[in-house]
Amino acid sequence: MNKYWILPVVAIAAIAASKFYSNTTIEKNTSADAKAALIDGTKISQVKFESFGAEDKHNVAVLTINPGTENGLTFAIQLNDLNQKVITNVGDFPAEKYCKGEKVLECSIPIPKEVFDRSMTIGIATYAMNGQLIKVKSGRADRDGNRSLFPTFAYHGAY
């Protein structure tokens, strides 16, 4: 009976080691599972992140968008920390310049790699042609419903 005490000790050590490993390993997502719908019917159905070689200092966020009733959309992109505080304003990106397609748009937005690596979420505010902000109807958003939020990083259980 005295020799069987080792089994629970080994099991507990294995569980502790796996928990430690999963908490210390940071893994970037290549796409976000979340979706967002805006009040005009615009849907952001996918956000993917692509990176280039080590010499390039940018990643690209690829957004899949089904436009709603508003025309001339512009996307204001921000990168946020864990508390949704803005790390950096990436910029404003007009759909006519950064997106391809007719019924479904695929938009490629350049993002500085250094800041992207420190971010937890990407915030996307959408504006109509007249500069009017289009609020988020459903999906993860900031407190005011102005920006749809998508994870940039697999943070143990946060998303």
Domains and CATH numbers, the chain: 31-151 (2.60.40)
- Each residue's pLDDT tens digit, 63-87: 888 888 888 889 999 988 888 888 8
Q: What is the pLDDT of residue 1?
A: 57
Q: Examine the pLDDT at 2 and tell me if it is beyond 80.
A: no
Q: 45-54 in b/e burial notation, b at 16+ Cβ within 10 A?
A: ebbbbeeeee
**Do the Cβ atoms of 133 and 127 come closer than 8 Å?**
yes
Residues 6+ apart with CB under 8 A from 122: 32, 47, 61, 77, 78, 79, 80, 111, 149, 150, 151, 152
Measured at the CA of 81, the angle between CA 50 and CA 154, to 5 degrees, comes to: 50
- Each residue's pLDDT tens digit, 38-47: 888 888 888 8
